[in-house]
Amino acid sequence: MNTFDYSYPVKVYFGEKAAANKLSGELSKVGKNVLLSCGGGSVKKNGIYEELMSILRAAGKNVTEFTGIMSNPTYAKVQEGAKLAKENKIDFILAVGGGSVIDCCKIVSAQARLDCDIWDMEFNDKKFPTEFIPMGAVVTAFGTGAEMNNGAVITNEDKKLKSALWGAFYSFAILDPVYTMTMPMGQVISGSFDALSHCMETYMGSPRDTNLSDEINEACQRNIIRNLRATLKDPKDIKARSELIWAAAMAENGILKIGKVTDFQAHMLEHQLGAYTDCNHGQGLAVIHPVLYRHMLPEAIPQFARLAVNVWNTDSTGKTEEQLASAFIEALSDFIKEIGLPTSFAGMNIPENTDYKAIAETTVLTGGCCKKFTAEELAEVLEECK
């Protein structure tokens, strides 16, 4: 295992009625002006909005609403939120939703305390913000684990880039599995696969020999697979839902990454696909992963073989390491079909004239991947995904 430092700033309140029991105590620590941030309105339909508003009212807070955060949050939306925060002298941001809302607010929190443009600051000047509006997150849609870190995936429509910006950590995150019970099943599936992808992308980094972080990772992958199957069998299974929401958090709270340099080449490629097509993130990952892994196979045999046996329960009797590695990719492909995710870009209704060459050429090439891809080979991967 590599040398590492580990600390973790996010307090997690997990379980039913976590907001009712814990939010008021957290609100007592912050200023009076609160920016309540959410997405397309589902929290107002399912009762979560009114429950949180009643807690905010009881705490004596002045609430400004920042709504309409889209599934792939744009840089323009970040700037809209930062403007609201500045104009209303916001003391605290409460982000309510899934990864999109939670990511967007990380950058709003930073941009609102800056006089310069945060995109230019991070990408051109290679400097990062140090002052933020304090934040809390209430997770209503799991998968991204966004509440667990300070990275945010933001689409800059002018530049045709979907990239990571770095903002604030949340002071606390409320994970109530009941809040996720109204998620559409398609979102449950794609979110769960995103969490599984986070685990695989971390696992496929270095070091590549057996280590404790990867052994914990294998358990998380088994957990996601088992509990997604249970949820598909019984969507009202609150125990399975509880496991999924925590597994998604575990995938991104840094524990699986201790002593690791991660891979995330599949994510980088899907992010740029999203910049050009605004596609569903989990679906894009499901299409890309098996194709990318077939290209990666010669360099990834030991890790793929371990995943086949330790995660997918492949019988190793009489099989070579190469055969087990191939069996992992096939098991993953079969699971994607089993849970109803698309297996091609055509199945995602991505236009035939999409410029895959441009997508590949603007994709970040990750240093932790065991195969050093070129833009040309990533373009081949995308063509094979069609």
Segment 15-30, tens digit of pLDDT: 999 999 999 999 999 9
Grouping H, G, I as helix, E, B as strand and the rest as coil, residue 95 is: strand
Instruction: Clarify whether residues 297 and 351 are in a common domain.
Output: yes
Q: Per DSSP, what are the bridge partners of residue 13?
A: 174
Residue 2 falls inside a structural domain: no
Cβ neighbours of 3 (radius 10 Å):
5
Domain end residue (candidates: 180, 198, 224):
180
Instruction: Clarify whether residues 65 and 159 are in a common domain.
Output: yes
Q: Per DSSP, what are the bridge partners of residue 92?
A: 34
Residue 3 falls inside a structural domain: no
Instruction: Clarify whether residues 193 and 173 are in a common domain.
Output: no
Domain end residue (candidates: 180, 197, 230):
180
Residue 4 falls inside a structural domain: no
CATH code of the domain covering residue 113: 3.40.50.1970
Domain end residue (candidates: 128, 148, 180):
180
Instruction: Clarify whether residues 98 and 162 are in a common domain.
Output: yes
Residue 351 falls inside a structural domain: yes
> Residues with Cβ < 8 Å from 242, sequence gap 6 or more?
15, 177
Instruction: Clarify whether residues 23 and 79 are in a common domain.
Output: yes
Which pLDDT score is estimated for 101?
Answer: 97
Residue 81 falls inside a structural domain: yes
Inter-residue contact 169 to 109 (CB < 8 Å):
no
Instruction: Clarify whether residues 324 and 350 are in a common domain.
Output: yes
Among candidate residues 129, 56, 49, the one with its CA nearest the CA of residue 97: 49
Instruction: Clarify whether residues 174 and 256 are in a common domain.
Output: no
How many domains does the chain divide into? 2
Q: Per DSSP, what are the bridge partners of residue 12?
A: 173
Q: For residue 155, is it left (φ>0), alpha (ψ between -120 and 50) or beta?
A: beta
Instruction: Clarify whether residues 175 and 232 are in a common domain.
Output: no
Reading the chain (386 residues) residue by residue, the pLDDT tens digits are 788 888 889 999 999 999 999 999 999 999 999 999 999 888 888 899 999 999 999 999 999 999 999 999 999 999 999 999 999 999 999 999 999 999 999 999 999 999 999 999 999 999 999 999 999 999 999 999 999 999 999 999 999 999 999 999 999 999 999 999 999 999 999 999 999 999 999 999 999 999 999 999 999 999 999 999 999 999 999 999 999 999 999 999 999 999 999 999 999 999 999 999 999 999 999 999 999 999 999 999 999 999 999 999 999 999 999 999 999 999 999 999 999 999 999 999 999 999 999 999 999 999 899 999 999 999 999 999 99
Instruction: Clarify whether residues 151 and 200 are in a common domain.
Output: no
Q: Which domain holds residue 375?
A: 185-385
Instruction: Clarify whether residues 72 and 98 are in a common domain.
Output: yes
**Regarding beta strands 151-156 and 161-166, do their DSSP bridges make them parallel or antiparallel, or are they unpaired?**
antiparallel
- DSSP H helices in the chain: 18-27, 42-45, 48-58, 75-87, 99-111, 118-123, 185-203, 212-233, 238-250, 265-277, 281-296, 301-310, 321-338, 356-361, 375-385
Instruction: Clarify whether residues 176 and 212 are in a common domain.
Output: no
Instruction: Clarify whether residues 158 and 215 are in a common domain.
Output: no
pLDDT digit string (tens) for 73-94? 999 999 999 999 999 999 999 9
CATH code of the domain covering residue 288: 1.20.1090.10
Distance, CA of 93 to chain centre: 20
- DSSP H helices in 142-254: 185-203, 212-233, 238-250
Residue 85 falls inside a structural domain: yes
Among candidate residues 366, 359, 364, 362, the one with its CA nearest the CA of residue 382: 359
